[in-house]
Structure 1
């Protein structure tokens, strides 16, 4: 297993679902220019997509006081940017069916982690900079997608036990991934997004997340924000005391309120534990 086999794997992937491609084009000129009525109609024409979006949004993790029963209601509550993230997330999940056992996870737990990263980004950073939070919230939801490709590759190469042992003992999963195939799963997420012609901004952020060389100041800033989120909650640490403290150090280094960040982390953790006790 090496970076070339992963690139070949990605290049062989089919395009995202037709509805997702159509909606992606709606967002090309910016979310602020999307006609919400047309967006709702496009989503609702795809009954399976609609059903899965509502299923995601009605997860106890999102703490909505009542059942969300329509796409228009979901957009009103979550916002158009988050809706874009849900759409892409479902399409990726549909396109790459993977067993996450190599990462010592069930697929359900992997989904929970992705959604908690999304929730943390939204609840934390929307109080800091709403505009940037709207940009980064969908990315927080889908940034772990590269692990689906890695998991498929590991299973295909029948190196599951070796990989699991490596993950179990790794201090940093990205460093371990890089030692095996010369890149990280976040960079692979960037390659995936490039393959599917998703937002170039997302591609640049993901490629720079573990390999931050020569990026622009704004990309560097976004990388720091995303780094705090993925440090607090990830496939090996779900809001542990150590992971929250390590993430808080990143938050402090970029000059933001550590107390607020930690309180959001603890709140999400409590909700998660309450629903998994």
Structure 2
């Protein structure tokens, strides 16, 4: 890889030092370094960096180095998937399930230039809100699509269908439709199963169900899942993808979720498997203080 985009989370502590170190390592191995225009505020004029619009950078780059946490990767994943650009994450956040490196391991970004890496394809979800047969909202998600109540003291009724057939009908706080990558995030906290990424299933996990029979379910990636949410006692509902601002739904709206056309591509430069990462990240020692 000879052209690499560094995408930093400008709100992270120590981000300037991380950008400088990453750039110096990559350029010393002959790579051209790109960065989004807004990152020019870091004041690294002395470094051989070419600034450009983020979309153009993602399209032009052979790979991206994302300096941030899982949230930073989630915000860029859809755009990167659209262009097929692989992502190497450096954890400047907390748990960092999707990030490959810790700040003390930045030197390993040199492996992008030496070919010492592998790329994991991660299934994404595509969500649409249909209102009277027309799409009024759409988004993609690397972790999950969530249907939730708007009011903290009300519950909503949800009807889940798979390829048009009713699967379950229950009341509660919401519903999470997660990719395998997302099953270690909010879905896991809500009691859902953990699915290894290569399985490429869709996990559906109720949030605080008010119905005894409401249990987590796992679906084939070929299924088209739909959810209708109805307010109870005047409650309203909304849909959100990967924690982005929610979209308020009207009565009768249908949320349709399918496997996205393009996967996210995550770069691995260390010889660790999913279970090693799982044990480390979900243990008490896995979170940075």
With the length of structure 2 as denominator, give the TM-score of the two structures: 0.24
Higher helix share: 1
Larger Rg: 2
With the length of structure 1 as denominator, give the TM-score of the two structures: 0.25
Higher strand share: 2
